[in-house]
Amino acid sequence: MARIKAFLFSLRGKAIIIGTFCIIIFMGVAVYIILSTEWSYYFRDREDLARVLAETAGVNFTNAILHQGVGPEGTKNLDYYIQDLLSKEKSILTISIFDKNGMLIAHSNSFEHNRFYEDAKEVIAHESTFLREIKDKERGPVLETITPLMAGEKRLATLRIEFSLKDLYDRLTLRAKNMFLRTLIAISGAILLLYFGINAMLKPVRRL
């Protein structure tokens, strides 16, 4: 115990402790900045993809409503486009279409047809494409995309597509674990080099 205390209060001990502390802080900040930057980049990329997909799909849904209306035949065509979109994009959780009064007229789950949604008024209130991330306890992180279906200046309906962000979070979690392991190895190596470097620097001092 006395030897440890003597080491901690020695010039060499203080230099190693301060150096180690600085290394850990520097590496921690660097890892945080890298992960934050990567998250922003990947999330923005996912947002752009969701926006383009929703607005592109909205053209097909708008045409189906214009040509067939919102009756049984129109709903049949909407269901066809919904299933086609689901088969092409695996990250989609749900697709729903609300009329201008907030009533559900099409959904990726047939059991949801004609169901009343409490947030329907909020959904149809958006005048342009709107995106937000939702934390869902059952489904995990979800990216909600809402876009109005317009024919000129007339609003026909509103499209909502929910995308799963679980794969994105899983990828970044794995990336963070790998970086954490590499950081530990780098810190250990840096501390070892620091120890030998300080010893070499203090040799002349100890001789005095």
For residue 43 the two structure tokens come to: 């999330």
Task: Report whether pLDDT(72) > 70.
Answer: no
C-alpha 78/C-alpha 64 separation (Å) is: 6
In this predicted structure, what is the pLDDT of residue 25?
Answer: 82
Task: Report whether pLDDT(39) > 80.
Answer: yes
| N-terminal to C-terminal alpha carbon distance within the chain | 27
**Cβ neighbours of 158 (radius 10 Å):** 25
Q: Do the beta carbons of residue 85 and residue 159 sit within 8 Å? A: no
If you count them, how many residues does the chain have? 208
Q: What is the pTM for the complete model shown?
A: 0.74
Place of tokens 């937000």: 132
**70 CB contacts (<8 Å, ≥6 apart)?**
99, 105, 157
Across 82-126, the runs of DSSP E, i.e. the strands, are 92-99, 104-107
Q: What is the mean pLDDT of residues 45-60?
A: 92
b/e map 24-40, b = 16+ CB within 10 Å: eeebeeebeeeeeeeee
In this predicted structure, what is the pLDDT of residue 51?
Answer: 93
Better-scored residue on pLDDT, 31 or 53: 53
Q: Do the beta carbons of residue 141 and residue 134 sit within 8 Å? A: yes
Task: Report whether pLDDT(148) > 90.
Answer: yes
In this predicted structure, what is the pLDDT of residue 32?
Answer: 82
Task: Report whether pLDDT(208) > 70.
Answer: no
Whole-number mean pLDDT of the chain?
80
For residue 129 the two structure tokens come to: 């494409």
Q: Do the beta carbons of residue 199 and residue 189 sit within 8 Å? A: no
Q: What is the mean pLDDT of residues 70-94?
A: 79
pLDDT digit string, tens, across residues 97-116: 998 888 888 888 877 666 67
The model's confidence at residue 165, banded by pLDDT at 50, 70 and 90, is very high
In this predicted structure, what is the pLDDT of residue 55?
Answer: 92
Better-scored residue on pLDDT, 17 or 55: 55
pLDDT digit string, tens, across residues 113-136: 666 777 888 888 999 999 999 888
SS3 content of the chain, % helix, strand, coil (to 5): 65, 20, 15
C-alpha 20/C-alpha 192 separation (Å) is: 10
Question: Nearest 5 degrees, angle CA 88-CA 91-CA 92?
Answer: 80
